[in-house]
Amino acid sequence: MREYDKFYFGGQWASATSVERIEVVNPATEAVIGTVPAGDRGDVESAVAAAKKALPGWSATSQQERAVYLRRLHEKLTEKVPEIGALITAELGMPIKLSQRIQVGLPVAVLDSYIKLLKEYPFTEQIGNSKIVKEPVGVVAAITPWNYPLHQLMIKVAAALAAGCTLVAKPSELTPLNAFVLAELVDACNFPPGVFNLISGYGPVAGEALAAHLDVDMVSFTGSTRAGRRVSALAAETVKRVALELGGKSAALILDDADLEAAVKASITSCMLNSGQTCSAQTRMLVPEALYQRAVELAVKAAKSFLPGDSRDMQTKLGPLVSAAQRERVVGYIRRGIKEGAELLCGGEERPEGLLIGYYVQPTLFGKVTPEMTIAQEEIFGPVLCIMSYRDEEDAIRIANATDYGLAGGVWSADVKRAERVARRLRTGQVDINGGRFNLLAPFGGYKQSGNGRELGRYGLEEFLEIKSLQF
C-alpha cells in the first residue's frame, strides 16, 4: 500500500490544497493498492509557478550540465527497475516479465538516448549571414496516459529537460504511483528546484487547468483522440504549442508473397501486447482472399497461446485490462462486432475460465470483418483483432487507409522493395516492414486523428525547441 498526500513542487513535497483522494486499484485483484491527491486549480497554480520560476536558470544551463543531471537520474532509475516494474504490474496489470523489460526498460533506454543526444545535438547553426539558435519553448505540461505510464512520461521528461524546458507532469489517475516514485528519484538527484514538478488528478480538473494555463508554453499530451481534441481547444485560447499522440487503428498488411506464418504470429503478438492496450497495436490483419482461411487457422492457434493469468507469474503473457470501465468498453465492442455480423473465431465476452476476479478479457478474434463495421473503424484498446480480406494490392492499401487514424502499421512481403513501396502509400506515422524492430531514435507519431508532432530521438527533442534567427 502506497499512500501519497503531497505533490512535488519547486524541489519539495507540498501539501495538496484539495482534500480529495484518488484510489489506485490493482486490476488483477480489484484491491486498492495506493492513494494519491486529486489536484485542483490551486495545485496547478503552484506547480506552474514553480516551473516558471525555475525556467530562466535551467534554460541557461549548458548541454553538458543538463546531461550530468539526467545521468544521475538514469543511474537512480536503473537501480529501481525491479521495484518499479513490480509496481507498474500492480497498477496496470501487465505481466511482470514484460513490465520489467518494457514498462521500465524502455524509460531507462529513452533517458540514456537523450543523454547521448545532448553531447552532439547542434543548438546553433550558421545559414548564410544568419545564426540559427534553438531555444527551449518554456514551461511544458506533460499529460500522460495509463497504458505505458512511466515510458510515456519519460519520453516527455527526458526530451523537455534536455531541451532546457521546465516541466509539470500530470500522470493518469489510473496509474499514478510510478510517477511519484520518479519524483522521489528526481528529488534525490538534487535537480534545481522547480525544473520537474508533479501533480496528480483528474483530466477535467487538473488536466484542463494545465492545458488552459496562461504560463504554460506547451502541452505535450498522450491519450485518446477525444481528450486530445479537448486539450487542443483549451490550448488554442492562449495559442500555445500542442503535441498530441493519440489513438490508432493500425493495419498489418500481409501481401500474397509473405511468410504467412511469421506474419500472422507477429501480428497477433502486436495486437495482444499489454492486453491490447497499446495505441500502435496492429489490430486489423489484412490478408489476400486466397490466403484468408489459412490465415484464420494460424491466427486462432497463435491467439490461444495468450492465456490470461496472474500478472505476477513470469510465464503469463496476457494480464487484465486496467479497470472495470475499460473491461466493459472492450466487451461492448465485442458485442457490437457480433451484432454487426462479424464472425467470432475465438474468445468472446465471457470471462476467461477460472478468473472470476480481475478485469480480464479473453483474446478475441473476429473474421469476415468489413471496413464499415464499428470494430474495424474505432479503437477498441483491448485484446481484439479484426481479420479482413482484400482482392489485390490496391484494395489492401485502400482498406488500410480507410480509418480516421494513422499512427502505425506493418507490411509483410518476400520482396522488401515491394513492401517499402506499399508502406510509402500508407497514411501513417510508422510502418514496420517484415516485423522491423522498434527504434528509440526514430520519430514516433501519427497522421490524421492520431495526432501531430513527433516523439523520441532528435525529432522528439525538437518538439520542445523554439527557433530564432540572428542576422549579421
290-319 exposure pattern, b = at least 16 Cβ within 10 A, e = fewer: ebbeebbebbbebbeebebbbbbeeebbbb
Q: Which three cell numbers stand for residue 328?
A: 466493459
Q: Which three cell numbers stand for residue 21?
A: 483522494
Q: Which three cell numbers stand for residue 454?
A: 513527433
Pairing of strands 282-288, 250-254: parallel
From 173, 245, 455, 463, active-site residue: 245
Q: Could you say which DSSP state residue 351 is in? A: P
Q: Give 181's contacts (C-beta < 8 A, 6+ positions apart).
A: 80, 83, 84, 87
Spatial contact of 9 and 197, defined as CB atoms under 8 Å apart = yes
Spatial contact of 108 and 81, defined as CB atoms under 8 Å apart = yes
* CA distance linking residue 250 with residue 376, whole number of Å: 10
From 189, 271, 279, 386, active-site residue: 279
Q: Residue 398: beta bridge partners?
A: none
* CA distance linking residue 71 with residue 69, whole number of Å: 5
E strand map for 117-176: 124-127, 130-136, 139-143, 166-170
279 is catalytic: yes
Say which amino acid occupies 340. Answer: E
* Farthest CA pair distance, the chain: 74
Q: Give 74's contacts (C-beta < 8 A, 6+ positions apart).
A: 108, 111, 112, 115
* CA distance linking residue 74 with residue 110, whole number of Å: 10
Nearest to 267 by CA among 116, 23, 432, 114: 432
346 is catalytic: no
Spatial contact of 127 and 353, defined as CB atoms under 8 Å apart = no
Please identify which residue in the block is written with the cell numbers 516558471. 52
* CA distance linking residue 186 with residue 181, whole number of Å: 9
* CA distance linking residue 9 with residue 198, whole number of Å: 7
CB atoms < 10 A from the CB of 370, how many?
14
Q: Which three cell numbers stand for residue 434?
A: 517484415
The alpha carbon torsion through 178, 183, 188, 193 (nearest 10 deg) reads: 170
Active site (catalytic) residues: 245, 279
